[in-house]
Amino acid sequence: LPQRWDSYREPLSTALREAGIDFDLRTEFAPAEVDYIVYAPNSAVQDFTPYTRLKAVLNIWAGVEKITGNPTLKVPLTRMVDEGLTRGMVEYVTGHVLRHHLGMDKHIRGLAPGDWPQDFPPLAQDRRVTVLGLGELGAVCATTLAGLGFDVAGWSRSPKTVEGVSCHHGDAGLKAALTHAEILVLLLPDTPATQNLIDAEALERMPMGAMIVNPGRGPLIDDEALLAALDAGHIGHATLDVFRVEPLPAEHRYWTHPHVTVTPHIASETRAPSASRVLAENVRRFEAGEPLLHLVDRTAGY
Catalytic residue of the set 99, 100, 128, 217 = 217
Q: Among 6-14, 99-107, 142-150, 184-192, which window interacts with ligand NDP (CB under 6 A)? A: 184-192
Minimum CB separation of residue 103 from ligand NDP in Å reads: 24
Angle, alpha carbons 260-263-269 (nearest 5°): 150
CB 130 within 8 A of CB 180: yes
Residue 212's closest CA among 129, 155, 151?
Answer: 129
Q: Is the previous residue joined to 31 through a cis bond, with omega within 30 degrees of 0?
A: no
Q: How far is CA 101 from CA 31, 93, 194, 242, in A?
A: 51, 12, 26, 21
Active site residue 217: yes
Minimum CB separation of residue 300 from ligand NDP in Å reads: 7
Catalytic residue of the set 205, 257, 265, 298 = 265
Q: Is 218 in the site for ligand NDP (CB under 6 A)?
A: no
Q: Is 158 in the site for ligand NDP (CB under 6 A)?
A: yes
Q: Is 188 in the site for ligand NDP (CB under 6 A)?
A: yes
CB 173 within 8 A of CB 201: no
Give the nearer residue to ligand NDP in terms of CB position, either 62 or 238.
Answer: 62
Active site residue 285: no
Catalytic residues: 217, 265
Binding site for ligand NDP (CB under 6 A): 62-63, 85, 133-138, 156-158, 160, 187-191, 193-194, 215-217, 241-242, 265, 267-268, 302
